[in-house]
Amino acid sequence: MARRKKIYEGKAKILYEGPEPGTIVQYFKDDATAFNNKKKATLEGKGVLNNRISEFVMVNLGRMGVPTHFIRRLNMREQLCREVEIIPVEVICRNVAAGSICQRLGIEEGEPLPRSIVEFCYKNDALGDPLVAEEHVTAFSWATTQELDDIISLTLRINDFLSGMFAAVGIRLVDFKLEFGRLYEGDMVRTVLADEISPDSCRLWDIETNEKLDKDRFRRDLGNVTEAYAEVARRLGIMRETQRAANDESDL
Ligand code: 5GP
């Protein structure tokens, strides 16, 4: 098959031109990075799992009316998406204290937060994606006030839905990172969910034991990283097909 034109290569994904104008193909790599690229590894099978988990999440969010860039999964590592203009802000939503908020505010990991908190980081690797205020987002025209309102209300809806979805399979949604994009449709522009939602971009803890089932296993050298991602897929009921796809891939 002829290779498509590469548009962009990120740390965990490659974007290719899609088969039709206005589409892209997201390819999920096995590469993992942390601490602003200082720690790197290849985790065999991670890309297959994230492709499948992100598909599951995007499809279910779409069903409840959250607009997303996702069109369909193409194969075990690729999905077809609408091409969007990425808003250069990472949106983080937290339910339980973990990660950078603990260091910043001196809160104990695992402390439930008084309410869900939405934070913004400026997407800039050279600066280490710094935390910014809503004021910065609009003042520097990274997003309009209307877009920011849409982003916050979509993020809280996504949080409610995903918290329930994961709780139903014994997983606590501690926090997660979202990216949004502008989808141009004729004269109209819509704010849609983009990128991926997977154990790379969420903190997911077993509800009973607090065992980490996410990228913190890689960040903190806890081992069994892909096994934890596979456990998330298994609990969501998508493991059998994913395992078959991974086996097919190793047979190639
Ligand atoms: P923290 O700010 O505590 O490091 O991260 C909060 C949440 O956002 C975590 O679930 C983390 O995995 C996610 N997150 C933050 N920055 C990034 C990023 O650059 N890439 C990905 N994939 N996830 C991120």
Instruction: Write the CB contacts of 219 (distance below 8 Å, at least 6 apart in sequence).
Output: 34, 35, 39
Instruction: Write the CB contacts of 116 (distance below 8 Å, at least 6 apart in sequence).
Output: 93, 94, 95, 156, 159
Query: How high is the pLDDT of residue 36?
Result: 86
Tokens 């994606």 -> residue: 129
Q: Average of pLDDT values for 156-167?
A: 98
179 lines ligand 1 (CB under 6 A): no
Res. 13: pLDDT tops 80: yes
Q: Average of pLDDT values for 63-92?
A: 98
Report CA(11)–ligand 1 centroid distance (Å): 13
92: helix, strand or coil? strand
Question: Crossing angle, helix 225-235 and helix 239-251, to 10 degrees?
Answer: 130
242 pLDDT tier (thresholds 50, 70, 90): low
Element (H, E) at 146: helix 145-167
Residue range(s) in the chain whose domain bears CATH number 3.30.470.20: 85-206
Other C-beta atoms within 10 Å of 30: how many? 17
Question: 85-206: CATH homologous superfamily?
Answer: ATP-grasp fold, B domain (3.30.470.20)
Say which CATH architecture domain 6-84+225-251 belongs to. Answer: 2-Layer Sandwich (3.30)
Q: What are phi and psi of 117, to 5 degrees?
A: -115, 130
Res. 243: pLDDT tops 90: no
Res. 252: pLDDT tops 90: no
Partners of residue 179 on adjacent β-strands: 194
176 lines ligand 1 (CB under 6 A): yes
4 pLDDT tier (thresholds 50, 70, 90): confident
Q: Across the chain, what does the average pLDDT equal?
A: 95
**Measuring CA to CA, which residue among 60, 44, 49 is closest to residue 229?**
49
Res. 158: pLDDT tops 70: yes
Q: Average of pLDDT values for 224-228?
A: 98
**Measuring CA to CA, which residue among 137, 41, 52 is closest to residue 89?**
137
pLDDT in tens, 95-153: 999 999 999 999 999 999 999 999 999 999 999 999 999 999 999 999 999 999 999 99
Q: Average of pLDDT values for 15-19?
A: 98
Partners of residue 226 on adjacent β-strands: none
Partners of residue 39 on adjacent β-strands: 34
Res. 197: pLDDT tops 60: yes
Question: Crossing angle, helix 225-235 and helix 46-63, to 10 degrees?
Answer: 30
Cα 225 to Cα 7, 123, 213, 216: the distances in Å are: 29, 26, 8, 9
Report CA(251)–ligand 1 centroid distance (Å): 34
Residue range(s) in the chain whose domain bears CATH number 3.30.200.20: 6-84+225-251
Closest protein CA for atom 8 of ligand 1? 177
Query: How high is the pLDDT of residue 1?
Result: 53
Closest protein CA for atom 2 of ligand 1? 100
User: For the chain, what percent of residues have pLDDT higher than 70?
Assistant: 94
CA distance 219 to 91: 20
